[in-house]
Structure formats: structure tokens, C-alpha cells
Structure 1
């Protein structure tokens, strides 16, 4: 009997020496994903630089003004990663215009009616906040007029780059602010018998509100 008691006591002591069981830590799962299609509206302010060359003169105009438009796109957040990849296109009405006189009573006017872009996006998500950069193809409806009459227009095509910050305000609504720089290249225009070469660049700041169609946030 004494031997059995000693054996049980020794077993209990050995069990007490074993390390306590600890469950494996649970994998961190983000509260929502940025993956999905979305659409939104945006408004802001843009300021252009139009470098013109005509008849030996170089009149530079600076069209600027408010802009409003819309955008659609798709994001894909990589599984288990804060990295977000996407593609987006937008179209905006501008109406920015400016004129510059040169020579003896001559002048040139640059007017931008609308702009648009198709851009790839890459971002880093902090849960409901997304910091992103974007770049791609940009285009603009550029109209050039002469002071004495005559006008010509074209769809100027170039490139754009920029970035911004976006925040999820709810399950399907987000808001963002972004800066964008665009270079629409150089185009030639025939205005009142003169050839005008114009190089246009643009800076803009935009505020946007979007709606995400896919569930999963």
C-alpha cells in the first residue's frame, strides 16, 4: 500500500513539471477587404500651363478653374496582405480657359473642356485607411482660339501620375483626397492661317466620395 501511494505521488510530481498547454496564436484577419468594384463622384481645382509658340512668339497662358466628374474602378487586396492593386478610369468637366496677347494686337486663347485618365493604382491599407499612388494614360479636349477669329481643337494625349489617401466611412462608402499631375504633350493647331504649337501640363487637387458595390467590408 505504501509503495502504491509513493508511485502516485511521484506521478503527480512529474505531471506538475510538464509545461502548461498554450493554444497557438490566432492568425490576424483584417476587419474588411478593399477588394471590389466601385464608382464615385469627385470635384476639385486644376491649374494648367499652356506653352504656346506662334509666329516667333511664345505666349504662355494659364487656364485654371474648378472641375467636376466621376470615376469607376476595381481594387484587389492580396490575401493576408495590406497590398492593394487596382485600375481606375475617370472623366471630368473642366471649362478652364485663359488668353494671352502677343505682338501687335494678336492673341491666343487656350480652353480645356474635359479631361480623363485610365490609371493603375497601388496602395497600402491600414485597415480602413488606404494610401495609394496612381499613374497611366491621360487625355484632354484642348481648344485653341485666335484673338482675331479662328479656332482649332484636338484630343491631347499624355500621361499622369499622382497619389492620395482614402478612408472607408462605412460598409460601402469611402472618401478620398488626391493630387494629380498630368502632361498632355505638344500638339499643333491651325488658327486663322497661323500654326500654333501648344504644350499643356496640369496640376489638380480632387476630393471624391465613392460607393463600393461588392460585399465583404
Structure 2
């Protein structure tokens, strides 16, 4: 609902300013979208539904995350039982540090960026390049609940992100409709939390490089010779699969599922979903030289 409300409000704003533009732009400008510009964006980012996300385990630490964590009796330690019907996984953050009480939704939030670009206008057609550097404040978690009971939460967010993309569009006087897309980079920050106080846990570092792409489209409206505003949608996708957590024995007994023989050295965790994705709806403002 928040994304729809933002989109509706932004659309009304751009439409109103487009209607008023002739009064604001008195100078003749045969190529209003030609040349260098700098600007910025502010918007709202929302993540798609990632139902089915889970935590994967590598029991023998051979790099293949395709094994079950089992109890001394041979039962799956992350499968529901009569005593612990809530064991399993959810696509969110555990709502308690102990028993199986469920998860909160992933956190959608605002984003902002600065940009520099260059366009070339040929009649009604406009082609150009744009680069951005900014930050999205989305947060994406997945949780596992064992029959112990205990919770295990893996969370990721964005330290900063950048992209370089092409855009191409069609200008009606001082209004430009365009499509855009290109490569993107994000520095992600991951974390791990658990209510398990018996085992010992260590990760391979919180910050990792993630590469991907962005694609979308928008509308830009000139207001005078040098200023423009707009509304833009971008789909963002990054491959983010480097974060690992290793659990070892700690003070747990030798019958602990994570250190059962013959693999007594411990178990590695990773997320099942290696794509970090979100939708962005942004207001833009540019100064054209």
C-alpha cells in the first residue's frame, strides 16, 4: 500500500508540474534534453515476496549446502514435530529469541542517491548515459527454528550501491518518456543472530561485494531551461551469496546436532536465496548545464 500511495502522489505531482511547465519555461529550447546534468533522487524501496526462503546447511564442510542437520535419533532438527510444531523456516526476522513464535516481515524503506548524466537529443529521440551512487535502506532476513527450541536469523542490508546505465526515450516538447537499464554494484552488510547460547558461531565477515543490474523507466519534465523533475521506477537485483556462518561445539554436548560424528568440526550456514532484489519508485530532480 505504501508503494502504491507514493506512486500515486508522485504521478499527480509530475502531472501538475507538466501542466504548469509552459508558464515556467519562457525561453525557446529546441533540444531541452541535450547535454550534461547532475541531480539526485529520493524514493521508496519495496522487496518482492520471498516465500520459501530458508537456511541451507553444509554438515561435512565440503562447500555443498545440501545436507540435513539431524538429531542423535536421526530426526531432522529443523522439521516440525508434535512437541515443536513451529520448527522450520520463515522469510523474515524471528520475533523472539526463544520459542517458535513466527517472524516479522522484511523491512521496506526509503532510498536516496546522487547522479550525473549526459544526454544527446536527435529530434524527438533522446539517448544518454547516467551514473548513480546512493543507498537503499531495505533489510532482508530469513530465520530458522530448530526443535531445541532455538532461532537462527540471517539478515542483509545495503551499505551503499551504485549503477551505470543507458537510457533512451522520446520527448514531447519538454516532457521525456524513457526506458533505462545497466550494470550495478552494491556493498552488502550481513549479520547473524541466534538464541542458541550453547554452540559457538563465527562468520566470514559482514561486508561483501554484490554485482547485478537495474532496469526500469520514467518520465522527466523540464521546468525552465536548466531544471527538470521526474518520476522513475527501477527494478534492482544483485547476486549476494558470499555470507557464511560456521557453528562449532562451544559448550554443547557431543550429541549436539551441529557436531555429531563423523563431522565433529561443525556446520556451515548460508541463505537459500542468493538474489537480493527490490523495487524502487523515486522522485528525481536534475540541473542541466
User: Which TM-score band (shorter chain)?
Assistant: 0.7 to 0.9
Tell me the alpha carbon deviations over residues 144-182 of structure 1, each in whole angstroms, 9 at most, x when there is no partner.
211136453212101111000000011100001000002
Equivalences for residues 18-167 of structure 1 within 5 A: 31-49=30-48, 51=53, 53-55=55-57, 59-61=90-92, 62-78=106-122, 81-104=123-146, 105-148=151-194, 150=203, 151-167=205-221
Determine the structure 2 residue equivalent to 1:191.
Answer: 245
TM-score by length of structure 1 reads: 0.76
Q: In 2 relative to 1, CA 210–118 (structure 1 residues): closer, same or farther, beyond 3 Å?
A: same
CA distance in 2, matches of 1:131, 1:39: 18
Q: Name the structure with the higher strand share.
A: 1
Larger mean Cα displacement after TM superposition, 84-93 or 145-154: 145-154
CA distance in 2, matches of 1:98, 1:186: 12
2:232 to 178, 189, 213: 178
Unpaired runs of 5+ in structure 1?
1-28
Deviation at 1:52, TM superposition (A): 5.4
CA distance in 2, matches of 1:130, 1:204: 19
Deviation at 1:99, TM superposition (A): 3.1
CA distance in 2, matches of 1:53, 1:101: 7
Bigger Rg, structure 1 or 2: 1
- SS where residue 244 of structure 2 aligns? strand
CA distance in 1, matches of 2:120, 2:280: 26
Q: In 2 relative to 1, CA 126–77 (structure 1 residues): closer, same or farther, beyond 3 Å?
A: same
Q: In 2 relative to 1, CA 72–172 (structure 1 residues): closer, same or farther, beyond 3 Å?
A: same
- SS where residue 241 of structure 2 aligns? strand
TM-score by length of structure 2 reads: 0.58
* Count of residue pairs the alignment pairs up: 183
